[in-house]
């Protein structure tokens, strides 16, 4: 199998390795980083180990057969772990895959455009190399920074479920975004 390695001007997106376990555990067990991603938040080293095993599992499958693509956001020179990004395949059809993406990043890298840069490259990979026809994303309504990343990458706001879910200490609304391959191609002058 060919390992996925994607480059941007400031980042390397690469597949997970067992050597990432300590950094991965530190990140997904950080309550500040994972505040908006409670379904991935790790309460123990064993949970982090299980999460990393799941993320690393995909590298042993042919790209066309993968149910997910989970990648480390890394420094392009040192390959130091900065965060994670990826998507799960929600549907396969003759028209292409419908996928749902997400990301998280160490606090010291927040506000510097790294998530936007990583998401742009993930979109390119999904649409140009992995047969995606649509990418979905969602966030808790008060996570304005994540919503802004999606908007900068061309995602279209498709609606909000008000008072939708219990999140940490109160009921919150959830926002939904989507991007079609043809929209992405038009934004990037590919059509």
Q: Residue 161 pairs with which residues in a beta bridge?
A: 174
Whether this model's pTM surpasses 0.95: no
pLDDT band of 1, cuts 50, 70, 90: low
Q: How many CB atoms lie within 10 A of CB 8?
A: 16
Bigger pLDDT: 179 vs 36:
179
Span 1-9, average pLDDT:
88
Q: Provide the pLDDT for residue 176.
A: 98
The top-scoring range by mean pLDDT among 12-16, 52-56, 59-63 is: 12-16
The pLDDT, as a whole number, for residue 163 is 93
**DSSP assignments along the chain, one per residue:** -PPPEEE-SS-EEEE--GGGHHHHHHHHT-TTTTTT-TTT--SSHHHHHHHHHHHHHGGGS-GGG-SEEEEEEE-TTT--EEEEEEEEEEEEETTEEEEEEEEEE-GGGTTTTHHHHHHHHHHHHHHHTS-EEEEEEEEETT-HHHHHHHHHTTPEEEEEEEEEEEETTEEEEEEEEEEEHHHHHHHTT--
How much is the pLDDT for 103?
Answer: 95
Task: Flag whether pLDDT at 62 surpasses 60.
Answer: no
Average pLDDT over residues 128-148: 96
CB 139 within 8 A of CB 175: yes
Q: Looking at residue 26, what is its pLDDT?
A: 84
> What is the average pLDDT across 132-147?
96
Q: Mean pLDDT, the chain, as a whole number?
A: 89
Of 64 and 82, the one with more pLDDT: 82
What's the burial of 64, exposed, middle or buried (CB within 10 Å: 0-12/13-18/19+)? exposed
| Ranges 34-48, 100-114, 130-144: which has the least confidence | 34-48
Lowest mean pLDDT among 16-25, 44-53, 178-187: 44-53
Q: Sorting pLDDT into bands at 50, 70 and 90, what band is 61?
A: low
Query: Which domains can be identified in the chain, with CATH numbers?
Result: 5-187 (3.40.630.30)
What pLDDT is attached to residue 177? 98
Place of tokens 């042993």: 60
Q: How far is CA 83 from CA 12, 45, 107, 136, 141, in A?
A: 11, 17, 9, 20, 22
Residues 6+ apart with CB under 8 A from 139: 36, 146, 147, 150, 174, 175, 177
The C-alpha atoms of residue 50 and residue 45 are separated, in whole angstroms, by: 9
């Amino acid at each position: 199998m060919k390992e996925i390695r994607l480059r941007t001007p400031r980042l390397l997106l690469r597949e997970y390795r067992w050597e990432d376990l300590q950094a991965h555990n530190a990140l997904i067990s950080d309550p500040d980083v994972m505040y908006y991603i409670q379904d991935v938040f790790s309460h123990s080293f064993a949970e982090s180990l299980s999460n990393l095993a799941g993320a690393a599992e995909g590298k042993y499958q042919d790209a066309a057969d993968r149910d997910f693509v989970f990648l480390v956001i890394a420094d392009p020179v040192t390959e130091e772990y900065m965060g994670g990004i990826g998507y799960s395949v929600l549907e396969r059809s003759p028209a292409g895959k419908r996928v749902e993406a997400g990301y998280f990043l160490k606090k010291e890298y927040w506000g510097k455009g790294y998530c936007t840069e990583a998401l742009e490259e993930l979109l390119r990979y999904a649409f140009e190399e992995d047969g995606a026809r649509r990418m979905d994303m969602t966030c808790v309504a008060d996570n304005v920074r994540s919503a802004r990343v999606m908007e900068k990458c061309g995602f279209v706001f498709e609606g909000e479920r008000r008072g939708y879910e219990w999140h940490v200490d109160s009921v919150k609304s959830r926002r939904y975004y989507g991007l079609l391959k043809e929209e992405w191609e038009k934004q990037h002058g590919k059509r």
